[in-house]
A and B are shown apart, each in its own frame.
Chain A
Amino acid sequence: MLRLVAEVTGNLDALKTVGRGLVIGLAAIGPGVGLGILIGKSVEAMARQPEYAGQVRATMFIGIGLIEALALFGIAFSFII
């Protein structure tokens, strides 16, 4: 399949550029959903239990850091391609 596309376009560099764009875009889907769920649920928890807001926020930031790394791996790998 890739060989076919390369023959049609006749240019591997063009394919690489497409690949870079695809890597960044695809890597952003999962973490986007994850961040939405994580932050939404955290806001819900903070609204229900305002006295635990600080604890929830600290845990939320750890989660954000862990999830965000996945999208950033995509960006880092897109430059290696």
Chain B
Amino acid sequence: MTWCLLAEFVAPTTKDFVWPCWGGGFRILGFSFCLNFIIFLVLLSFAAFLLLFYLAFRQPKIVPSGLQNVMEVGILFVRDNIARPMIGPEGDRFMPLLSTLFFFIFLGNILEVIPGVNFSANSRIAFPLILAMVSWVTFNVVGIKQHGFIGYLKHVMLPPGAPLWLYPLLVPIEFITQIVIRPITLSVRLAANLLAGHFLLAVFFLGTIALLQSGILAIVGVFAFALSVVLVGFEIFVSILQAFIFAILTASYIGGALAEEH
């Protein structure tokens, strides 16, 4: 990381995503545990999440105002656009999970565009992977509870209406797409979006600085700066969209696991 104004353009690399430990950590079974910038960001978004909900719903009023109003709009959005359309009338049972996923991912993502932080912990694959595992365990457990273990496997692997001779082909494909691929795509989608967003912003802002200092090309730098500001807005949109997509896909997987045979 170089904080000074660069005379020449230095392209961002994947090394920008590796942060050193703050102080010593400890090692357990070959894994090293320590506090670094990424863990700090996760704790920061966790603290922001707790604080936001505590302040909003500390003394809930019948007629909401201020922060409570804003948070209620957010939660109603999750209920009316994610939980109920995707899961159905049983969706309210899963509201705690879905709204937590939505707000936690959103708060983690938005750190990408907050000045001075400019990095989202979700652009490392580990945290989206953990969130995806939460979603994976939830929809499998819900499905097994609903149909029983054998019934759930049948529900997943034997789609009704397919001809009998297709089953040898269909069973492995359905198993892989529904059980194996889902957590991978959930996590890679979130991580790759934020990784690409970080690269995009870094390239544009570093490029702006380099162009502004390069004589005649400074006029291009002005346009590059204008586009960089637009891209910050785009990244805010992407962070909301990714939180929404993560929550809505989790809801649709849960809805699929709960659905009765047709």
* A-to-B contact residues, CB < 8 Å: 54-55, 58, 61-62, 64-66, 68-69, 72-73, 75-76, 79
Residue pair B14, A79 in contact (C-beta under 8 Å): yes
Question: Taking the nearest CB of chain A, how far is it from the CB of B62, in angstroms?
Answer: 27
Q: Which residues of A contact B81 (CB under 8 A)?
A: 54, 58
Main SS at interface, chain B: helix
Count the B residues whose beta carbon is within 8 Å of the partner chain — how many?
19
* Given the contacts A55-B85, A75-B195, A76-B195, A61 and B245 also touching, CB distance less than 8 Å: yes
Residue pair B85, A72 in contact (C-beta under 8 Å): no
Residue pair B248, A62 in contact (C-beta under 8 Å): yes
Residue pair B86, A75 in contact (C-beta under 8 Å): no
Interface assignment of B203: CB less than 8 Å from any CB of chain A: no
Measured in the bound complex, the distance between the Cα atoms of B192 and A45 in whole Å is: 30
Interface segment among B37-45, B138-146, B183-191: the answer is: B183-191
Residue pair A64, B196 in contact (C-beta under 8 Å): no
Additional A-B contacts beyond A61-B244, A62-B249, A65-B245 (5; CB < 8 A): A58-B82, A64-B241, A65-B189, A75-B192, A76-B191
Question: Taking the nearest CB of chain A, how far is it from the CB of B249, in angstroms?
Answer: 6
* B-to-A contact residues, CB < 8 Å: 14, 81-82, 85-86, 185, 188-189, 191-193, 195-196, 241, 244-245, 248-249, 252
Residue pair A62, B195 in contact (C-beta under 8 Å): no
* Given the contacts A58-B85, A58-B86, A79-B14, A72 and B245 also touching, CB distance less than 8 Å: no
Measured in the bound complex, the distance between the Cα atoms of B241 and A25 in whole Å is: 23
Question: Taking the nearest CB of chain A, how far is it from the CB of B203, in angstroms?
Answer: 13
Measured in the bound complex, the distance between the Cα atoms of B242 and A68 in whole Å is: 11
Q: Which residues of B contact A69 (CB under 8 A)?
A: 185, 188-189, 192
Question: Taking the nearest CB of chain B, how far is it from the CB of A53, in angstroms?
Answer: 12
Question: Taking the nearest CB of chain B, how far is it from the CB of A45, in angstroms?
Answer: 15
Residue pair B245, A76 in contact (C-beta under 8 Å): no
21 pairs across A/B with beta carbons < 8 Å?
A58-B81, A58-B82, A58-B85, A58-B86, A58-B248, A61-B241, A61-B244, A62-B249, A62-B252, A66-B185, A68-B189, A69-B185, A69-B188, A69-B189, A72-B188, A73-B192, A75-B192, A75-B195, A75-B196, A76-B192, A79-B14
Which of B188, B241, B248 lies in contact with A73, CB distance below 8 A? B188
Q: Which residues of A contact B249 (CB under 8 A)?
A: 62, 65
Question: Taking the nearest CB of chain B, how far is it from the CB of A12, in angstroms?
Answer: 18
Question: Taking the nearest CB of chain A, how far is it from the CB of B125, in angstroms?
Answer: 9
